[in-house]
Structure 1
């Protein structure tokens, strides 16, 4: 079962990364239904194999959303998936700011269980920066959708947004390693 769970997660990540291109290029050949059904099946499997209740609920919500999109044959709504993913990530990161440990602090404690107070403040700030990134990503992607810039949407959501995430992740990593010496 653990291998199947890992395989489902890997497929979900891969399809989510490739989704802008799957949708942009695939819709002209398949239409909404096959792609929406594929996404619904993947999210259903994720819901079934998730161990945490919140993951099960969010996965089930996305599964039902894709079932609804398939039923409605909503071509325009299919473009909103990257926005929904960014909203979910924003929700997770922002909610962690109201918990005892931010999500970035949890990751940091995997390497440094005795994280000092300065590290806690730093990880909280990095979590806030990621929240800002997700907000900007949501706004920019929404603008492309509302303006019906479909080619730009595919390039931005399929390439540029990932490059920006990589720059943010890499920049923070380099800053932490060379400036903070952590």
Structure 2
């Protein structure tokens, strides 16, 4: 695969992720849960097939867990014609991120934020490692609250509230978290 094609696929994937709440809102207000689920499935399967066509056996199952969970939610929407399956995707993604970040907080593991920090600065002293652990905890709390908010909106609120939150506010809050961590790290460690 050429570099240009890889970049194009990454950009397309990012657009689809960001546009998902708006597309679901439009679809649910004009078509219905089953039709939207089928459309999402039609967009998702070719991308997954392309992405995993050359996956090696050793890492295959660790990489396909999230897409399989997404497919199960989509098939749930098709089978039941219930919009909550479509609205549950952001909740599931936050749950996966919570587990991924949280699993790096166990004893002996390198916290997720420390992994990112070491990409820029391979040697971190104890104070920086503590900072990274604290921010990994902060991200876990964020994913818990963000997923909980998306779940509450999916179950209890009009679909446009869910759309505004998952399609805009959640991204803004995530950006604030990134910026806050960066600014605190710069102020604390120079």
Matched, 1:171 2:180: yes
Is residue 73–residue 85 contact of structure 2 (8 Å, CA) maintained in 1? no
Moved over 6 A (4+): none
- Which stretches in structure 2 are left out of the alignment for 5+ residues? none
**Matching residue of 2:147:** 138
- More deviation, 2-11/137-146: 2-11
Distance 1:40 1:67 in 2: 12
CA distance in 2, matches of 1:38, 1:60: 15
CA contact (8 A) 2:90 2:166 kept: yes
Alignment length (residue pairs)? 181
Contact persistence 2:19–2:167 (CA under 8 A): yes
TM-score computed with the length of structure 2 as normaliser = 0.82
Tell me: CA distance 1:95–1:10, structure 2 relative to 1, closer, same or farther (3 Å).
farther
Judged with a 3 Å threshold, the aligned counterparts in structure 2 of structure 1 residues 67 and 147 are, in CA distance, closer, same or farther, namely: closer
- Cα shift readout 1:72-112 (whole Å, capped 9, x = no counterpart): 43323111111111111111111122252111111111111
The question of 1:87 aligning with 2:88 is answered no
Shift of 1:44: 4.2
Could you tell me whether the CA contact under 8 Å between 2:25 and 2:163 is conserved in 1? yes
The 3 A distance-change label for structure 1 pair 57 and 35 is: closer
Structure 2 matches for 1:1-80, cutoff 5 A?
A: 1=1, 3=3, 4-30=5-31, 31-32=35-36, 33-48=38-53, 52-53=59-60, 54-80=62-88
TM-score by length of 1: 0.86
Q: C-alpha distance in 2, partners of 1:40/1:70?
A: 15
What root-mean-square deviation, in Å, do the aligned CA atoms of Structure 1 and Structure 2 show?
2.3
